Amino acid sequence: MKPAFDFHPDAQAEFAAEVAWYDDREVGVGGRFAESVRAAVDAAVEDPEAWARWQGWDAEPVVRSKGVAGFPYRVVYYVEDRLLVIVAVAHAKRRPGYWRDRVSP
């Protein structure tokens, strides 16, 4: 059985903000971004251990990330009790690790 998924509230808010930001620049880009994020989430749900551990993260739970195709973002997540918890939809080059306090020990 595949795990279900849920967004940390802060991750959900930043995801919505990024979709809006892209749509403000060009109509339709926000939708493409949302589709790419959803594809990354689906891939992580399908095989959560397939994606790399977050470099330098050596605590439990194991944090991993999956790139978002076509955009400089990563879906950052961990699995707890068959639930894939998305802690960030993070820009790949900005504020590395800002989401760390969202991970339940």
The tens digit of pLDDT for each residue in 37-78 reads 999 999 999 999 898 888 777 778 999 999 999 999 999 999
Residue 94 confidence (pLDDT) above 80: yes
Alpha-carbon distance 80 to 34, whole Å?
24
Measured distance CA(59)–CA(53) in Å, rounded: 11
Structural domains in the chain, sorted by start: 4-98 (3.30.2310.20)
**Does pTM top 0.85 for this prediction?**
yes
